[in-house]
Structure 1
Amino acid sequence: MSTINLIKASFTQPKLLMEARHKKGWHIFVYILILALVLSLPVIYQTTQITQSMQQDGEEIIKKMPDFKIVDNTLTPDKKDSGFVYQTNSIIFTFDPDGKRNKQDIASDASGNALVIGLLKHEAVLALPQIGTTTDVVDSNLVTIPYSLPQVSMLSKTFIEQMLTGKTSGVMWFGLILIITFVMVLVNFLIDIVLLTFFATLFTKLRMLRLKFTDVFKILIYCATVPTILTVIAQFIWPSISFGSIGLALTLIIYFSALPKIPKIKKK
């Protein structure tokens, strides 16, 4: 059964999803990537709103920022008491070489739909827009980059200026957030489906059905089609609410409805 027909069946004839167990591994992998991309759409949309004002915000940030360099894995500016926090509806930028703020403070900033960037004393912190899709993955959506990494040792005001105000800064940030979000959503989706597969396999064995673990996994991937679409639609309407658990529950319900019924034993 083709992938297109399986997608159609997920809307109208769930029982046909049992045919998904015959799909080849690479078909399943590609479809997983497609579902992960769909789940990333709310964050992608929010990111386009952020990047539209990135250059203007970047110019204001650079005006406030002193020259600095990384010395002994520490953020070292050329002026004392030069820390500041710049905040708009689209970005919250923290420059804190004095160690007055930490990752928890940055996480508390990431309570809305803004991109949060923090240059702290010993590490750089990036928090993705707080959309329900990403809060299903990690509570704070934080990505931490310690200055001890060789690639970060060349960090400077000039580099930040290029990232925030360059002609391609909007495209660069869009691509960066897209990649990070997609990877996080993909990993989380796979973990959820694997956990569901363990539970669904146990249930299937209790019903005396001969389905392998991999068969159940493949079927669940296609059972997740409708829940994924509904979750994304709901996420656009209510971006601050997480619908991940509801999507998982719907996936299981569709899987159970796809299983063949056990014939009743007639009494003599």
Structure 2
Amino acid sequence: MQVRAGSVAVRETPLPDARLATEALFGEILDVFEEQHGFALVQCQRDRYVGWVALAGLAERLLAPTHRVTRPHTHAYAAPDLKSPPQLTLSLGGRVSVIAEEGDWRQCQDAGWVHQRHLAALDVLDEDPASVAERYIGTPYLWGGRSGLGLDCTGLTQQSFEAAGVLLPRDSDMQFDWAGDAIADWRDPGALQRGDLVFWKGHVGIMTDPDHLLHANAWHMAAACEPLGDAITRISKYYAEPTGARRIQVSSERGTVPAWKTGA
């Protein structure tokens, strides 16, 4: 089945108030294993996450996407007119099928009219994951979230790299095990660079330069950028020391099927 809501909650149990595991965005394909009390047990094809989704946000008819959403969130309107009522709120990475054009507006099947500046063809990718992450600054922290209305630390890094054509696993331990290459001397002055990932057990952030970390975190309750040293000191006081850092070569990994997804 395919997501037809702006996003759907993927929950740990088939209850409307169950804890959020992740979110699936408009256009994502979900493999359905069973249905129960208005929920479906699914596996997200994009990152293999499993959970329960309300059937009301899904459709059996699969649309072939042509474009992706490039803003943290945007509106799909009832007509090609910014004064018309919005029908859906779409998030960055959502995939839509454009079926008509009128001026600067694009009609997206089963969604509505979206301004063309908030869309890109599927083969047009961002070059810099850190720039994508910066679009989320100020977005509220949400455990399990990966939409423009709220996201967690790995939702931020996953969304940022996927916009550049590199698919990361959903959890921080898997990102630490599988994403790019370890940076052995990452604590040395100047060793880190823009786009590097710094990890703690259960947490991750992306560097915007050698000294600043952007991360969705519960301290700020938002995606925020701060000096890496400040983050290390605070997180070490309340939780733990960093576990390491990794560097992803976007140009070489873009468009490849990641090993974590194939089991290789």
Using the size of structure 1 for normalisation, the TM-score is 0.27
Considering fraction of residues, name the structure with more helix: 1
Greater RCO (Cα-Cα under 8 Å, separation 6 or more): 1
Look at both structures and tell me which one has the larger radius of gyration over its CA atoms. Answer: 1
Using the size of structure 2 for normalisation, the TM-score is 0.27
